[in-house]
Chains A and B, each alone.
Chain A
Amino acid sequence: MTPAVKSSAAVQQSDVVLRYLRPHKKFPNLWCPGCGNGIVMSSLVRAIDKLGLAKDNVVLVSGIGCSSRMPVYLDFQALHTTHGRALAFATGVKFARPDLKVVVITGDGDCLSIGGNHLIHACRRNIDITTILINNYIYGMTGGQISPTTPSGSVSTTTPYGNMEKQFEACELAKGAGATFIARTTVYHTSQMDRMITEAIQHRGFSFVEVLSNCHTYYGRLNRLGQATALLRMFQEKAARGKAKSIIDEESKDMIVTGVLHRDDEKTELCDEYQKLLDSLSKGKA
């Protein structure tokens, strides 16, 4: 055992996170002990810290849900909006202030059900926004109802005898709609997550990172999958890391393909296009 070394590394890490927490914000937070949202929050902070972005040039935009509470705790510019609408608000921010880094934090309900329409159109426009979808397979905040990513057969409070619907494959959806950077990771794979989020923020265009996360309080309990650690172990065991050939693992649908799943650096970005248009019009006038 080398506790001294370990703990100093841990302290260093948490120091980074502490520097980015909103001062005077009351803790403890809304998340259940062991919730994956905190892991994603730390990863986002490490990515932003690594990129050396000024706090006030980062805008976090979220809708409503447990995951969407994140901007409340972090000391960036924040827009806490209505359920499902984060991407619509974020588009407005980015278009008006293309110099700012805009990051959307969203849940599977927020992003894929009530806000699904905004997702596909943000992807289609290829606007320079980073979207982090925390997919915990369920509506956490309202008490564990079925979401568009609840696996078929799973129990939720609105499908007490199992979900008979098919679920969305969020990354495929984003790809089909035109997103130009797509990655998937899990709350178990934190260093991979740090890299994915860093790259996503660096990417010029619409970037989409799906983080599979644990809602042991509802999804885990209702489906008898155990506590947070059991769900993390599941992510560890099921993740097929490395060079992903496809978004879904065709051989074994049970595996989770992680990593950068799609990337297109050729496609033009919306704000750039708009600037070009403005430039050409003003040239025409001169």
Chain B
Amino acid sequence: MTTTKHKVHVLTGNEAVATAAKLCRVQVVAAYPITPQSSVVETLSKIIEQGELKAEFVTVESEHSALAVCIAASTVGARVFTATSANGLAYMCEQVHWAAGARLPIVMGLANRAMAAPWSVLNDQQDSMTMRDAGWIQIFCRNNQEIFDTFVQAFKIAETVHVPVMVCYDGYILSHTVMPVEIPAQESVDAFLPPYKPHTILDPAHPRNLNPVTLADPRRNGDGELCHGYMELRYLHQEALLNAPAVITAVDQEYGKAFGRSWGGMAWGYQAEDAEILLMAAGSLCMEASVAVDRLRQEGIKAGVLGLRVYRPFPKKELIEATKNAKVVAVFDKSMSYGNEGPICADLKAALYGSGSAPIVHGYITGLGGRDVKYRHLMDAAKTSLTAANNGISTKASEWINCQI
């Protein structure tokens, strides 16, 4: 155990992010301000200018450039970091795909915020969900301690599987709320996270041409070597993501050994073992769901929380296992796949199909654009779902909670 020199600080989610980036000894930070992410950038610029962290801070002119700078810096072997929210992420989109396709271990903080139009600076998770198919790992945090710990883990995961990681945390609810956060000593973080050993590096001593135009079929390069075609590269990317759960789980466990805290790897449960009804969500909403579950239990209802920590890669195996004894799962999405249903709900149904674990799955849309979600709403939804399930109603249209239409 190396937890002897830790200190407890009272930090906002954004400060937890900046502190983690510092202790992870990031070498290049490039970001463009946007509410509610801005204080991450401000805190880091101060840390860097005060000389507490030896890093380059690049005040770019847009998010697109922020990620471009990170991509370039990562390509030459630096440990890099950026952070954004909502429209900032959307504006980065081209580079989000590039970072993943180039297999660079970039770590991004995403203070989840609703997408415009219309403008809203408040929280939901539409921004990250919109980027779910870009090929990044997406991890959702439920409190500020998990934000800090997940960032430290994220660099290790990214640098092992060579896939960028987006650490998602709810805007305002976590980004601007203070909580006690245990901060380990620098030596302990150093011991856990050794310096980045670049796997792809642009180096004048060994000239290379990275990410050239790739044709449909594998071809020989100028040196006569047979190179992968586009589809082979994509297959390898998918393979890396499919293998990532083992790494993510192992890193979380190793972190637990080193610092005394683990966060459930891919997914976690609360009062879930004997639950008839599971309340499933990602991020801080899980904390509200835990309160709902405690109250439901007081009323004699066997309820539990199924917390989705990693959304991409989607933890099919873990979710099948976690839901196999439940009668019904109520999924609370804070985003929408417009024209379909909540993305977590749809993905859970797809994962369960043909798996032998066949609980009823009901979808709920909640908290869009900062609409308050109370534990009472979650309790009511859980009861509705349980009653429906007991009456044999297996499918029903997604319900929009507290939508006053």
Contacts and interface: CB of A to CB of B under 8 A. Distances in A.
Given A142-B34, A145-B33, A160-B46, A116 B61 contact: yes
A143 B46 CA distance: 15
Contact of A165 (B39, B59, B63, B91): B59
Contacts of B46: 160
A170 to B, nearest CB: 14
Contacts of B33: 139, 142-143, 145, 158
Given A82-B116, A142-B35, 10 more contacts: A64-B119, A141-B35, A142-B33, A143-B33, A145-B38, A157-B38, A157-B42, A158-B33, A158-B41, A159-B59
A259 interface: no
A27 interface: no
Q: State the main secondary structure of chain A at its contact with B.
A: loop
Interface of A: 64, 80, 82-84, 113-114, 116, 139, 141-143, 145-146, 148, 157-161, 165
11 contacts: A82-B87, A83-B87, A84-B62, A114-B61, A139-B33, A142-B34, A143-B39, A145-B38, A158-B57, A160-B50, A161-B49
Interface in B63-111: 63, 87, 91
Interface residues of B, number: 21
B27 interface: no
A143 B45 contact: no
Contacts, number: 52
B62 A113 contact: yes
A145 B61 contact: no
A145 B41 contact: yes
B172 interface: no
B106 to A, nearest CB: 20
Given A82-B87, A82-B116, A139-B33, A145 B42 contact: yes
Nearest to A83: B87
A141 B45 CA distance: 18
Point out which of B39, B46, B61 has the most chain A C-beta atoms below 10 A from its C-beta: B61
Nearest to A143: B38
B32 interface: yes
Contacts of A157: 38, 42, 45
Interface string B47-61: 001100000010101
Contacts of A116: 61
Contacts of A158: 33, 41-42, 45, 57, 59
B12 to A, nearest CB: 14
Interface string B112-138: 000010010000000000000000000
Q: Which 5 A-B pairs have the closest CB atoms?
A: A113-B61, A114-B62, A142-B33, A157-B42, A158-B45
B34 A159 contact: no
Contacts of B59: 145-146, 158-159, 165
Nearest to B51: A161
A165 B41 CA distance: 17
B93 to A, nearest CB: 13
Contacts of A161: 49-50
Contacts of B63: 114
Given A82-B87, A158-B33, A142 B49 contact: no
A168 B116 CA distance: 29
Contacts of A165: 59
A160 B38 contact: no
Interface in B242-279: none
A116 B64 CA distance: 13
Interface string B189-201: 0000000000000
Contact of B45 (A64, A83, A160): A160
Point out which of B35, B42, B63 has the most chain A C-beta atoms below 10 A from its C-beta: B42
Contacts of B41: 145, 158
Contacts of A80: 119
A140 to B, nearest CB: 11
Interface in B2-53: 32-35, 38-39, 41-42, 45-46, 49-50
A133 to B, nearest CB: 15
Nearest to A163: B59
A82 B116 CA distance: 8
Contacts of B62: 84, 113-114
Contacts of A143: 33, 38-39, 42
A4 to B, nearest CB: 45
A146 B38 CA distance: 12
Nearest to A150: B59
B18 to A, nearest CB: 12
Nearest to A165: B59
B52 to A, nearest CB: 12
A219 to B, nearest CB: 15
Contacts of B119: 64, 80
Contacts of A84: 62
Nearest to A85: B91
